[in-house]
Amino acid sequence: MWDPVFLRGVNLRLEFPVERYGLAITREAQFEIPGTPNPLRAFIERSIEDWQIRVDTKFGFWDNRHSEEDQRVGGFGFGVWATHEVASFYAAQRDKRMVRKRKTRLYKNEADIALGARSFEGIVLTLDSKPGPLRDACEAGGRVAFLDRLPRSPDRLGLAVGKLLASPQS
């Protein structure tokens, strides 16, 4: 999602006003940022701070497979409860898709699974419309806006995303 925002010079706060939207990234998305080349990485880090993008962390308990800095969930006072729908999506996806960790310290498709789960509680913007967790989420009723299906240069990203979400199979 960051690539078109960066390349088009999109102001997320203008497109998604704070009075109407809360912008967030998943904990898993944080793992992908350090491996992103500059100047895109610098843009992402600056945007998270400038636009007050919060990290959406689900409540959970310590996972012995991960170090302290690699924990995916937050404990008491840090994570939010997952709905039954979100927990069910995670359960269905984890068994099928996670095999081994990559250099990002994430399992294959782990970040997309987290985003797919969030689509049942909010709107997920992505460039990834290939078969996988995000398409699975969309087909199961999640709200996923596939930005690669937008016209090349919409005047207003927020309006284009709204129209995309209003159409069947966003």
pLDDT tens for 108-166 read 889 999 999 999 998 898 888 899 999 999 999 999 988 777 666 556 666 666 665 66
Residues in the chain: 170
For 156, the token pair is 């207003």
d(CA 1, CA 115): 11
This prediction has a pTM of: 0.82
Contact in structure between 125 and 170 (CB atoms under 8 Å) = no
Contact in structure between 109 and 98 (CB atoms under 8 Å) = yes
Reply yes or no on whether the pLDDT at 34 is more than 60: yes
Query: Any idea which of 15-29, 45-59, 85-99, 105-119 has the lowest mean pLDDT?
Result: 85-99
d(CA 23, CA 71): 22
What's the chain's average pLDDT?
A: 85
Position 83, amino acid: T
Tell me what pLDDT residue 101 has: 77
Share of the chain above pLDDT 70, in %: 85
Question: Per-residue b/e over 134-147, b at no fewer than 16 CB within 10 Å?
Answer: bbbbbeeebebbbb
CA 80 to chain centre: 16
For residue 83, give the nearest of 132, 26, 122, 134 by alpha carbon.
Answer: 122
Reply yes or no on whether the pLDDT at 4 is more than 80: no
Tell me what pLDDT residue 170 has: 46
Contact in structure between 1 and 126 (CB atoms under 8 Å) = yes
d(CA 120, CA 86): 6
Tell me what pLDDT residue 44 has: 95
Task: Please report which confidence band the pLDDT of residue 167 belongs to, taking 50, 70 and 90 as the band edges.
Answer: low
Contact in structure between 145 and 126 (CB atoms under 8 Å) = yes
Identify the bridge partners of residue 101 per DSSP, sorted by sequence position. 107
